[in-house]
Amino acid sequence: MKPETGSGAVRSTRAHRLLRRWGRVVLSRTVPVEEVKLYPTGPQFFEAFFSALATAQSYICIEYYIIRADQTGNRLAEELTAACRRGVQVFLMYDYIGCIDTPETYFRELRRQGVRCLAFNPPSFRRGIRWFDRRDHRKLTVIDGSLAFLGGLNIADEYAGLGKEHLRFRDVGFSLTGSATSHLAELFQDIWKMEEGSAPELPGPLEAHFAGAACQIEESRISLVSGGPHQLRSTIRTVFRGALALAGTELLIANPYFIPGPLILRSLLRAARRGVIIRLLLPARSDVPVVRLLSRSVYRQLLDAGIEIYELEQELLHAKLMLVDGSRTVIGSANLDQRSFHRNFEINAVVHCRLFGAQIRALFGADLIRSRRITADIHGQRGTMVRLLERLLQPFGWFL
């Protein structure tokens, strides 16, 4: 076989250099999977999620940034309570700040039913003011060591397609089976131990017990990317940069909190200069309006480089996706912002599967139809006050 030459070899060398230099944690988490299934909407995700919880036989590990005491959160409580009654060990970890609006009685009742609940990073005078800036932003469930659910969806009605339409989030999730799930269980144990001092003991994995239409991954693997403030260099950002460096023909990116920083911005512009077609799907409305202002402050550079920008208008975009050349999908909890790179605990997966990529492409196509394309003329029409705010807020991008 002839060695790769030309621009493809340059891209491959650059990406592998990034991973070798900064991504040892990533490479050690590259594992085989049996099946991966995409849930393109919140209702589809939660239907499969709750059905799977009802089949748990040994243990359930759940880790979410937000868990609300609404219809969706109460359904979760019912399933976990039922699991405890049939002898399943249930461990639930939630972010203290993310769940600040959730009554403590919700978790107290779960504890009373036998669920081991742990709040991540509660207020502490011993930790000082820095405690406030650490978040567990991961969305992870492992069932019996044989099935896992990941993605960007929190446990709340607005993610499950309930409530007022203009307040609903547009998000996606996925499930996987195979040996990757045992690695995810280890990641759950690691952060539990980090917070409590000791890790929960989990039984060995059972046989997979969840069936459904899925992408069979043949002779391929999935890379599990765990990032957090304990890392000297951001693994999450390194993998994003590696994916951008490998792009040869097309990049499709959806992200709700787009404050890329100079390194990611530079990688995007390099990809555009070498002829990669890049389409960004970003929110027209945001639950954090200041983030939208900061995102739009870099539109001019992107548009001048030929990058296409679309804004989803009907729902609040919350999906975090990157599709590289139709075959490599980066999907999970991490945003393209400094908080996800440096101060949140996050978990992404890189799925190497053309069938999975085709599903992601179809999802993008449907969402782009419902979006507004932002051109240089449209972007130039924003008012003087908006431009001034963009400039004033730029120094604060690292803190959001």
The better pLDDT of the pair 124, 45 is held by 45
Residues 181-192 have a mean pLDDT of 94
The single residue of 318, 337, 342, 367 carrying the catalytic annotation is 318
Looking at residues 102-123, what average pLDDT do you find?
96
Mean pLDDT, residues 187-216 taken together: 74
Percent share of the chain, pLDDT over 90: 70
What is the rounded average pLDDT of the residues 224-250? Answer: 93
pLDDT > 60? residue 51 = yes
Kindly state the average pLDDT of the residues 126-148: 86
pLDDT, average across residues 111-133:
84
pLDDT higher than 70, residue 7: no
Give the pLDDT score at 383. Answer: 76
Of the segments 104-118, 181-195, 232-246, 372-386, which one has the largest average pLDDT value?
A: 104-118
For the ranges 16-30, 51-65, 75-89, 118-132, which has the lowest average pLDDT? 16-30
Q: Considering only 104-113, 213-222, 345-354, 355-364, which range has the smallest mean pLDDT?
A: 213-222
CA gyration radius for the chain?
Answer: 21
pLDDT for the residue 233: 87
400 vs 192, more confident: 192
Q: Looking at residues 163-174, what average pLDDT do you find? A: 92
pLDDT at 100: 96
Q: Among 133, 190, 287, 325, which one carries the catalytic annotation?
A: 325
Q: What confidence tens digit (pLDDT) does each residue in 327-345 have?
A: 999 999 999 999 999 999 9
More confident residue, 85 or 131: 85
Q: Which amino acid makes up residue 211?
A: A
End-to-end CA distance of the chain: 48
Which of 9-13, 54-58, 369-373 is least confident? Answer: 9-13
pLDDT band at residue 23 using 50, 70 and 90 as cut-offs: very low
Mean pLDDT of 97-120: 97
Cα dihedral: 101, 104, 105, 109 (round 10): 120
Query: Are 334 and 320 within 8 A, CB to CB?
Result: yes
What angle is formed at CA 158 by the lines to CA 154 and CA 160, rounded to 5 degrees?
70
CB-based contacts of 381-390 (< 8 A; 24+ apart in sequence): 382/296, 386/293, 386/296, 389/293, 390/293, 390/294, 390/296, 390/297
Pairing of strands 277-283, 308-312: parallel
Q: Which of 95, 136, 144, 337 is catalytic?
A: 144
Residue with more model confidence, 235 or 383:
235
Q: Is the pLDDT of residue 211 over 60?
A: no
Task: Look at residue 385 in the predicted model and tell me its pLDDT.
Answer: 80
Residue 10, pLDDT above cutoff 60:
no
| Predicted confidence band of residue 77 (pLDDT cuts 50, 70, 90) | very high
Angle at 319 between CA 382 and CA 133, to 5 degrees: 85
Could you confirm whether 144 is annotated as catalytic?
Answer: yes
Beta bridge partners of residue 281, listed in sequence order: 254, 310
Pick from 136, 91, 96, 97: nearest CA to 111: 91
Q: How confident is the model at residue 388 (pLDDT cuts 50, 70, 90)?
A: confident
**pLDDT, mean of residues 79-99:** 97
* pLDDT for res 67: 98
Domains (range + CATH), the chain = 7-32+218-400 (3.30.870.10), 37-216 (3.30.870.10)
Given 37, 95, 136, 137, the catalytic residue: 137
**Distance between CA atoms of 205 and 192, rounded to whole angstroms?**
19
pLDDT at 12: 52
Locate all alpha helices (DSSP H) within 247-288, ordered by sequence: 261-273
C-alpha 102/C-alpha 110 separation (Å) is 13
In the chain, the largest separation of any two C-alpha atoms, in whole Å, equals 65
**Per-residue pLDDT, 215:** 58
Q: Which of 144-153, 297-306, 377-386 is predicted least confidently?
A: 377-386
Is 70 exceeded by the pLDDT of residue 218? no
Least confident of 91-95, 162-166, 251-255: 162-166
- The mean of the pLDDT values for the chain is 88
Q: What pLDDT is recorded for position 262?
A: 93
| Tens-place pLDDT, residues 55-64 | 999 999 999 9
87 — alpha (psi -120 to 50), left (phi > 0) or beta? left
Which position among 37, 320, 342, 352 bears the catalytic label?
320
Q: Is 352 an active-site residue?
A: no
Q: Binning pLDDT at 50, 70 and 90, where does residue 150 land?
A: very high
Q: Helices (DSSP H) in 86-130: which residue ranges?
A: 104-112
Tens digits of residue pLDDT in 253-271: 999 999 999 999 999 999 9
